[in-house]
């Protein structure tokens, strides 16, 4: 057993000692079979949330309505989820009501794909009711039970299939794939936030091209924000070099570049991403477009920051240009100032020097001084700045 699992065993043994069942389940068991790094160990149990809380001293209700309690043990924190069924699906969405059950089998049945429906005991014995191990060996994504019914219950599972195809470099089993093609339109019922999580994972996966090809083939893109009728642009995006994309911002930037999005803010808002993400992408796309035609100039660098410079250079690399991050960052560091506060004069000093009251002239003058210092036209010292200010204001008068 991997270390992450052995660490969790004392916690599970406490549950078992209290007369309940406890198993490793979900993605961690799958990743264990794939010899892939394990992020979070999920534990499922026959104990109800209140029973779990009675067993452990320190617990937090992280998702008690879904049956999940976080146990704070000496070895670490573990999410323990009560076996449950999700019987009351309405309108093709994941139900907000769940029923707790005592049977592992019931719990495994409601899971999405056979590879995700494995359970493992503390002894390392695998419970494989749906041939999940074989599907992992075949590198195949297979719905648990009838795929059509499963996508009717929760249409997000279709996007999950595509993201696992990209993430794990697996194929989608033929009946499961057919059902996605047939019911892709049900994605319209799913919240953008849930789709976005799977979409980003697809974009960051090891075989992005595979995930995207399936996304196009199944027509799921028709039901995603801003992607309707965009098969051609998505195909262009698919043909980018196959390197893994290192972060979410870069993924979005490459996508909106290839889609030729004009209004970044409006387009990205459809995906309900954070304002920070929208800001970075707005600045990033503008800088990328300039940078594809030209060298970094002092004023461009000044209006960027190391993260943005990295983003733009990484994007260039995907677009077949050199990644000049190191050269760009050393130019950035050599800039005489990095923000207006670093100017050796400020509004106060300027007003005192000129004996003028505040007004629009003040900001305008400061910004002109800032521009000239950044461009290396004048030095950043008070004498030079004030004489330049006199000159600027004299011209105006
Ligand atoms: P990752 O490694 O990306 O976390 P994961 O398989 O752990 O992958 P999660 O979204 O963390 O994916 O979900 C944990 C488990 O819960 C899954 O393995 C699956 O068994 C089950 N699951 C998650 N979402 C669904 C869903 N929409 N329908 C059915 N089962 C689901
Ligand atoms: Mg997980």
Short-list 210, 289, 295, CA closest to 257: 289
163 marked as part of a ligand binding site: yes
- Measured in degrees and rounded to the nearest 5, phi and psi for residue 126 equal -100, 135
**Same domain, yes or no: 62 and 30:** yes
Q: Which domain-ending residue is among 286, 312, 335?
A: 335
**Same domain, yes or no: 234 and 265:** no
pLDDT of residue 90: 67
Per-residue model confidence as pLDDT tens digits over 206-234:
999 999 999 999 999 999 999 999 999 99
The DSSP bridge pattern shows strands 22-25 and 42-45 to be antiparallel
At residue 89 the predicted structure's pLDDT band, cuts being 50, 70 and 90, is: low
**Same domain, yes or no: 35 and 123:** yes
Instruction: Look at ligand 1, atom 7, and give the residue with the nearest C-alpha.
Output: 27
Question: Contact at 8 Å (CB) between 46 and 21?
Answer: yes
Q: What predicted TM-score, i.e. pTM, was given to this entire model?
A: 0.93
User: Which tokens is 55 given?
Assistant: 């067993």
Q: Which CATH number characterizes residue 268's domain? A: 1.20.58.560
**Same domain, yes or no: 211 and 122:** no
Q: Which CATH number characterizes residue 64's domain? A: 3.30.460.10
Short-list 224, 253, 226, CA closest to 237: 253
Can you point out the beta strands (E) in the chain?
22-25, 42-45, 59-63, 68-73, 76-82, 84-85, 99-100, 119-120, 126-127, 140-141, 171-172
Q: 116 CA to middle of ligand 2, Å?
A: 10
User: Which tokens is 24 given?
Assistant: 């490793």
Closest ligand to C-alpha of residue 34 is: 1
**Same domain, yes or no: 229 and 255:** no
For residues 373-384, average pLDDT: 97
Checking if the pLDDT of 94 tops 70, the result is no
At residue 65 the predicted structure's pLDDT band, cuts being 50, 70 and 90, is: confident
Mean of the per-residue pLDDT values of the chain? 96
**Same domain, yes or no: 195 and 181:** yes
Question: Contact at 8 Å (CB) between 158 and 151?
Answer: yes
At residue 11 the predicted structure's pLDDT band, cuts being 50, 70 and 90, is: very high
**Same domain, yes or no: 145 and 69:** no
pLDDT of residue 86: 79
CA dist 375 and 122 (Å) reads 65
- Measured in degrees and rounded to the nearest 5, phi and psi for residue 261 equal -70, 130
The size of the chain, in residues, is 397
Place of tokens 């943005």: 308
Q: Which CATH number characterizes residue 377's domain? A: 1.10.246
- Which residues have CB under 6 Å of ligand 1? 26-27, 39, 42, 94, 111-112, 116, 154, 156-157
Checking if the pLDDT of 271 tops 90, the result is yes
Q: Which is higher by pLDDT, 61 or 91?
A: 61
Per-residue model confidence as pLDDT tens digits over 287-314:
999 999 999 999 999 999 999 999 999 9
Q: Which domain-ending residue is among 72, 107, 131?
A: 131
Checking if the pLDDT of 30 tops 80, the result is yes
Short-list 162, 169, 345, CA closest to 242: 169
- Residue 203 belongs to domain spanning: 139-239
Q: 23 CA to middle of ligand 1, Å?
A: 15
pLDDT of residue 32: 95
User: Which tokens is 14 given?
Assistant: 């406490």
154 marked as part of a ligand binding site: yes
At residue 106 the predicted structure's pLDDT band, cuts being 50, 70 and 90, is: very high
Atom of ligand 1 nearest to the CA of 201: 3
Residues facing 44 on adjacent strands: 23, 81
For residues 139-153, average pLDDT: 97
Per-residue DSSP letters for 193-239? HHHHHHHHHHHTSTTHHHHHHHHHHTTGGGGSTTTTT-HHHHHHHHT
Instruction: Look at ligand 1, atom 12, and give the residue with the nearest C-alpha.
Output: 27
Closest ligand to C-alpha of residue 112 is: 1
Q: Which domain-ending residue is among 239, 258, 287?
A: 239
111 marked as part of a ligand binding site: yes
Per-residue DSSP letters for 173-199? PHHHHHHHHHHGGGGGGS-HHHHHHHH
**Same domain, yes or no: 187 and 298:** no
Checking if the pLDDT of 73 tops 90, the result is yes
Radius of gyration of the chain (CA): 28
pLDDT of residue 371: 97
**Same domain, yes or no: 261 and 363:** no
Place of tokens 């600045």: 283
pLDDT of residue 34: 95
Short-list 72, 21, 10, 24, CA closest to 51: 21
**Same domain, yes or no: 143 and 220:** yes
Checking if the pLDDT of 91 tops 80, the result is no
pLDDT of residue 119: 98
pLDDT of residue 39: 87
At residue 92 the predicted structure's pLDDT band, cuts being 50, 70 and 90, is: confident
Taking the CA atoms of residue 116, residue 209, residue 39 and residue 314 in that order, the dihedral angle to the nearest 10 degrees is: -170
Atom of ligand 1 nearest to the CA of 167: 3
**Same domain, yes or no: 248 and 231:** no
On whether ipTM exceeds 0.90, the answer is: yes
Q: Which CATH number characterizes residue 186's domain? A: 1.10.110.30
Per-residue model confidence as pLDDT tens digits over 228-267:
999 999 999 999 999 999 999 999 999 999 999 999 999 9
Checking if the pLDDT of 53 tops 80, the result is yes
pLDDT of residue 95: 66
Checking if the pLDDT of 315 tops 90, the result is yes
**Same domain, yes or no: 90 and 152:** no
CA dist 244 and 314 (Å) reads 11
Q: What share of the chain is helix, strand, coil (3-state, %, to 5)?
A: 55, 10, 35
Grouping H, G, I as helix, E, B as strand and the rest as coil, residue 316 is helix
At residue 97 the predicted structure's pLDDT band, cuts being 50, 70 and 90, is: confident
Checking if the pLDDT of 136 tops 70, the result is yes
Query: How many folded domains does the chain comprise?
Result: 4
The DSSP bridge pattern shows strands 68-73 and 76-82 to be antiparallel
Q: 160 CA to middle of ligand 1, Å?
A: 8
CA dist 170 and 162 (Å) reads 9
């Amino acid at each position: 057993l991997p270390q992450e699992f052995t660490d969790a065993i004392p916690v599970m043994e406490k549950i078992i000692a209290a007369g309940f069942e406890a198993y490793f389940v979900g993605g961690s068991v799958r990743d264990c079979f794939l010899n892939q790094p394990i992020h979070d160990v999920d534990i499922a149990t026959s104990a109800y949330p209140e029973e779990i809380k009675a067993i452990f001293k320190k617990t937090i209700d992280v998702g008690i309505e879904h049956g999940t309690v976080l146990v704070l043990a000496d070895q670490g924190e573990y999410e323990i989820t009560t076996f449950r069924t999700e019987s009351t699906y309405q309108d093709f969405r994941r139900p907000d009501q769940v029923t707790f059950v005592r049977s592992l089998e019931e719990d495994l049945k409601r899971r999405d794909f056979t590879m995700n429906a494995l359970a493992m005991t503390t002894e390392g014995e695998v419970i494989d009711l749906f041939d999940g191990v074989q599907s992992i060996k075949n590198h195949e994504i297979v719905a648990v039970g009838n795929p059509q019914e499963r996508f009717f219950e929760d249409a997000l599972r279709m996007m999950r299939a595509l993201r696992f195809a990209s993430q794990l470099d697996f194929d989608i089993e033929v009946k499961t794939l057919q059902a996605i093609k047939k019911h892709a339109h049900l994605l319209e019922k799913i919240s953008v936030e849930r789709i976005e999580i799977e979409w980003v994972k697809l974009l960051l996966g090891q075989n992005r091209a595979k995930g995207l090809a399936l996304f196009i083939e199944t027509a799921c893109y028709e039901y995603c924000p801003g992607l309707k009728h965009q098969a051609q642009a998505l195909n262009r995006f698919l043909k980018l070099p196959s390197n893994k994309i290192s972060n979410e911002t870069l993924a979005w930037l490459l996508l909106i570049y290839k889609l030729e999005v004009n209004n970044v803010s409006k387009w990205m808002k459809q995906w309900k991403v954070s304002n920070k993400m929208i800001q970075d992408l707005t600045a990033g796309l503008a800088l990328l477009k300039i940078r594809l035609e030209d060298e970094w100039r002092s004023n461009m660098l000044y209006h960027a920051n190391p993260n943005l410079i990295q983003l733009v250079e990484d994007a260039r690399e995907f677009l077949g240009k050199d990644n000049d991050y190191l050269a760009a960052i050393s130019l950035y560091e050599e800039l005489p100032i990095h923000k207006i506060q670093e100017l050796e004069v400020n509004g106060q000093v300027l007003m005192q020097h000129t004996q003028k009251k505040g007004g629009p002239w003040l900001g305008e003058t400061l910004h002109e001084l800032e521009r000239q210092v950044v461009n290396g036209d004048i030095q950043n010292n008070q004498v030079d700045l004030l004489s330049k200010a006199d000159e600027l204001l004299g011209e105006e008068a």
